Amino acid sequence: MSATTVGVAGVGVFVPGFADIAAWLTGQASEGAIRPTGELYPKRLRRRASTFSRALADVYAETTRSLDDDESVSLVIGSSIGEANTMIDLLDQMWREETALSPTRFAMSVHNAAAGMVTIATANTGFATSLGADFDTPAMALIEACGLVIERGQAAVVVCGDEPVPEKLVPPNHGWDMLAAGLLLVPVERAVHGTLSMPARAPASVPAPGLAAGLARNPQAGMLDLVDAIVRGRSGTVALDRGRGCGWTVAFERAAD
């Protein structure tokens, strides 16, 4: 293993209709799991949280289930459009309704709103960040998280997600469905599912799973593909951009049985 390899110790997904990673893997859809709960957040925060922020929180909670101490875990949130729907709501307030902006919604419109709320919910006074790189967001979030694990020798959670893009901002049929997926990365010696290399530009060897078109168009679909490969134990190189970014991939090697 090179110095740029990290272990995987937890996974999580939010895909509307699937209650958790197990349901996703077995295709067990349920009507009760359409909307994220955001149960990680205290009630007062949950009331203010967008659907998107709740989805990220749900994935964080599932991903870190095995973590003893999430007060010091590093947190990396990746998203291409962040709280774009909140931004459109605010623009409607300003120019369509011509009312004063909601200060709370404005504060919640920043890209790192979810990261901030997760740190509050988990009393995490350590590292948190939020980033985007369009269709390369999963690869870049993994690079940032790998750098943290390698530097600090401690766990890092990376959660990538995007809510549906505001329909008004894109041509018809260019939208996508919400999804979020996450990994708990740890030093190699603590790996549970296997190991990941630092993302690089290399040909993919693991076929992407079949996704509904709306999910496949989500800029974070590559993260879902990676989680899928990890939980199914498919070693190899996984594409992180579904062919729409700069060609970043990541090599996964499953843990020995």
Partner 1 sequence: MIRSLPITAFSLVNSLGVGDDAVAAGLARREAGLRPVAGAFDLPFETVVGAVDDTGFSELDGDLADWSTRSARIAARLIVEIEDPIRRARERWGDGRCAVIMGTSTAGADRTEAAYRQFIATGALPEDYDLWRHHTYGAVLHVIRELTGMRGPAYMLSTACTSSAKPLASAARLIASGAIDAALVGGIDTLCAMTLMGFHALGALDTSACRPFAADRAGISIGEGGAVMLLERAGDARVVLEGVGETSDAYHVSAPHPQGDGARRAMLAAIQAAEVLPSDIDFINAHGTGTRLNDAAEAMAIEAVCGTDVPVVSTKGYTGHTLGAAGATEAVLTAIGLERGEVPASVGATTVDEKIRIHVAANGATGRYRRAISNSFAFGGNNVSVLLRVP
Residues that bind partner 1 (CB under 8 A): 3-4, 45, 48, 80-82, 87-88, 90-92, 94-96, 100-103, 106-113, 115-117, 119-120, 122-137, 139-141, 143-144, 146-148, 150-151, 165, 168-170, 198-199, 201, 246
Nearer to partner 1, 57 or 165 (CB): 165
Least separation in angstroms between residue 28's CB and partner 1 is 34
Tell me how far, at minimum, the Cβ of 164 lies from partner 1, in Å.
Answer: 13
Measured CA angle at 231 (ends 254, 135), to 5 deg:
95
Q: How far is the CB of 90 from partner 1 (least distance, A)?
A: 6
For residue 21, the tally of other CB atoms under 10 A from its CB is 24
CB of 131 to partner 1, least distance (A): 5
Least gap, CB of 103 to partner 1 (angstroms): 4
CA distance 169 to 92: 13
Residues with Cβ within 8 Å of residue 172, at least 6 apart in sequence = none
Please say which residue, 147 or 209, places its beta carbon nearer to partner 1.
Answer: 147
Q: Which is nearer to partner 1, 102 or 235 (CB)?
A: 102
Q: Are 6 and 196 in contact (CB under 8 A)?
A: yes
Amino acid at the residue 50: S
The amino acid at residue 62 is E
Pairwise CA distance, residues 168 & 33, whole Å: 27
The first and second tokens of residue 66, run together, are 């095995």
**Cβ closer to partner 1: 43 or 168?**
168
**Phi, psi (deg, nearest 5) at residue 181:** -145, 150
Amino acid making up residue 29: A
The least distance separating partner 1 from the CB of residue 30, rounded to whole angstroms, comes to 32
CA distances from 184 to 16, 55, 96, 157, 218 (A): 21, 16, 43, 5, 21
8 Å CB contact between 180 and 51: no
Please choose, from the candidates 171, 256, 172, 180, the residue with its C-alpha nearest in 3D space to the C-alpha of residue 218: 180
Q: Which is nearer to partner 1, 19 or 127 (CB)?
A: 127
Q: Minimum distance between the CB of residue 256 and partner 1, rounded to whole angstroms?
A: 25
Is the CB of 1 or the CB of 246 nearer to partner 1? 246
Pairwise CA distance, residues 203 & 186, whole Å: 25
